Amino acid sequence: MHSTLTVYITLICMSSVFIIYLGFQVLMKRHHYSNIANYFAVYTAAIAIYCIASALGLTSVTLEQMKLWTIVQYIGMPISSPLGLLFIMKYLGIKVTKKRIAALLALPVITFLMVLTNDWHHLHYHVFTVDPDLGLPYIYQEIGPWYAVHGIYIFGCMFIALLLMISQWKETARAYRSQLIALMLGQLVPMVTAFLYLIGMTPPGVDPVPMVLWITSLLYLWAISSSSLFAIMPVAKNAIFNSINDGVIVLDGTKRLIDFNEAARKNFPNLNKSLFGTSILEFWEDYFVLDLEHATEAKEVKMAVSGMEKVYQVRVTLLDESKGSLLIFTDVTELKKLQTQLENQAYYDELTGIHNRRAFMQQCEKELAEAKKEGVPFSVMLLDIDHFKKVNDTYGHHTGDELLVHITKVCRTQLEAPHLFARYGGEEFVLALKGMPVSEAEKLGNRMRAQLMNLPLKTVQGKIAVTMSIGITEGTDKSLHQLLHEADTALYAAKESGRNQVRVVEASKEKAK
């Protein structure tokens, strides 16, 4: 065996050892990685078969042995390129289905069968014999039509894998680009070598591709050890980034758009990659204004999206290294609707739509404190519907409910200012009048009472006229409980005096004078 052949075999054996070690290492640690490790293990196994058979082929002493090892080579070699493409697709997050796997591996299987039966049809090799000048184990071959199909296919798989990785370059963070470079070179080295072999620019009689695959293996080993290939991948970042339900927008230090995830694209239809490099203030100025440098707490922003008003909770996270920022949008529209509904149930009377007793007590305490601080009068009015039980007994509770709604509307027509008006319980209402002295409150009470008398409720059963009795008090030097007690006392006096009248607490009346 002359020295040149020894070098060839040594290089191929070196490739075989590196590839087997690489595949074994990944396979043993596959539980640390995602299922991409399985794709890579199968890929390296196919290359290992190809390399080992190539090395053994160069030790052949007969043509039959050369044909046998060539057939063994074609167990691994035709499928290695499509397996490499599948591995890259998985790495880049491109969906790999069983149908795609079957489609990519169909032609390599045919190629293996064509090589296995080549002596019958000569479609893969027109001529496959010992090189007349170099002798064994060098081969002289003339390619057939199927060899051309096979060559185009494997070259195409490697080329597509390379293009896919190049297309992801801009969208890959710098931390992951070393991985991408290693994988691109890993595809480029055998692709260039195969091309040179096909155009006759390599030593005759021997396939040079297995001799250079050790370079590819070293690149992959370097990527695994230096940048945690398989454990941390751009596809993992992209998968997480695009699977987040919240919209995420990435800006650089000058507030220019550099990235966004799928949720952001769905939430904001006008967002597209053509806006990369554009200041966010240019295309979102009408939506909202955020102080990106000083935003520390989440803010709620209302935005019109596709003709619908939506509410987003926006959080800004500053990126120290790049001086950029992340804008994280959480769609809280439905949550806000639910919150509004719960607030309405908690603080508003379901029947009349005005505040309930709980809301009145909370808000009135604040208004009373404000009136005391500002030195303005503060009056409280209690209103009770006369003989309301009789209406329920005569016309039914449904009509009684209609009457309560009607009375609420009548009273509100007399309230020029947005005073605190609430249903106190049953047929009783309460009104807090900040800034209004008891004398003015008495006039207001009489206007509401007269208006109710003049506007009976119209029903299918006829008109229902009712009256109401009112008790009023005033004071900022008393507690809310005392004011309500005094107003209730005045209301009781109005009831005792014949109903349909307004009574004011005497102390309040004297104070007003």
Q: In which residue are the tokens 């919209």 written? A: 247
List every span in the chain annotated with CATH 3.30.450.20: 244-336
- For residue 264, count CB atoms less than 10 angstroms from its CB and return exposed for 0-12, middle for 13-18, buried for 19 or more: buried
pLDDT at 102 over 60: yes
Residue 282 identity: E
User: Which residues, 6+ apart, have CB-to-CB distance to 301 below 8 Å?
Assistant: 287, 288, 290, 311, 312, 313, 314
Stretch among 39-48, 87-96, 362-371, 421-430 having the lowest mean pLDDT: 87-96
CA 499, CA 492: separation in Å to the nearest integer?
9
Q: What per-residue string of b and e applies to 348-362 under the rule 16 or more CB within 10 Å gives b? A: bbeebebbbeebbbe
Topology of domain 3-237 in CATH is Rhopdopsin 7-helix transmembrane proteins (1.20.1070)
Give 56 or 234, the one with higher predicted confidence. Answer: 56
Nearest Cα to Cα of residue 103 among 76, 85, 123: 85
Burial readout 33-70 (b: 16 or more C-beta within 10 A, e: otherwise):
bbebbebbbbbbbbbbbbbbbbbbbbebeeeeebbebb
| Confidence grade of residue 513 (pLDDT, cut at 50, 70, 90) | very low
Residue 447 has pLDDT above 90, yes or no: yes
CA atoms of 300 and 285, how far apart (whole Å): 16
Q: Is the pLDDT of residue 493 over 80?
A: yes
Mean pLDDT of the chain: 85
Residue count of the chain = 513
Question: pLDDT for 339-366, tens place per residue?
Answer: 877 777 778 898 998 999 999 999 999 9
Tokens (6 digits) for 132: 């007349």
Mean pLDDT lowest among 190-194, 275-279, 410-414: 275-279
Is pLDDT above 50 for 246?
yes
Residues ≥6 apart with Cβ < 8 Å to 292: 251, 255, 316, 318, 325, 327
**Amino acid 289: pLDDT:** 52
- Residue 244 phi/psi, 5° resolution? -65, 135
User: Which pLDDT does position 210 carry in this prediction?
Assistant: 87
CB 180 within 8 A of CB 196: no
**Residue 288: predicted pLDDT:** 52
pLDDT tens for each residue of 181-239: 888 888 888 888 888 887 778 887 788 888 888 888 888 888 777 656 665 555 555 65
Q: Is the pLDDT of residue 293 over 90?
A: no
Question: Which overall architecture, per CATH, does domain 348-512 show?
Answer: 2-Layer Sandwich (3.30)
Instruction: Return the CA Rg of the chain.
Output: 43
107, pLDDT greater than 80: yes
Residue with tokens 């604040």: 366
| Residue partners of 46: CB distance under 8 A and separation at least 6 | 75, 76, 77, 79, 80, 83
**Residue 510 in this model has a pLDDT that exceeds 60:** no
> Looking at per-residue confidence, does 398 or 264 come out higher?
398
- Its pTM stands at 0.52
CATH 1.20.1070.10 residue ranges for the chain: 3-237
What is the average pLDDT across 428-442?
95
d(CA 379, CA 475) in angstroms, rounded, equals 7
Q: Locate CATH 3.30.70.270 in the chain.
A: 348-512
Residue tagged 């230096």 (tokens): 226
For residue 459, the SS3 value is strand
4-18, 229-243, 433-447: range with lowest mean pLDDT: 229-243
First to last CA, the chain: 128
Query: For residues 160 and 85, is the Cβ–Cβ distance under 8 A?
Result: yes
Which pLDDT value is given to residue 389? 92
Question: What number of other Cβ atoms are within 10 A of residue 100's Cβ?
Answer: 15
pLDDT of the residue at 83 = 92
* C-beta atoms surrounding 325 within 10 Å: 21
Which residues contact residue 379 at a Cβ distance below 8 angstroms, ignoring those fewer than 6 apart? Answer: 432, 433, 436, 437, 438, 440, 441, 472, 473, 474, 508
Q: Which fold has domain 244-336?
A: Beta-Lactamase (3.30.450)
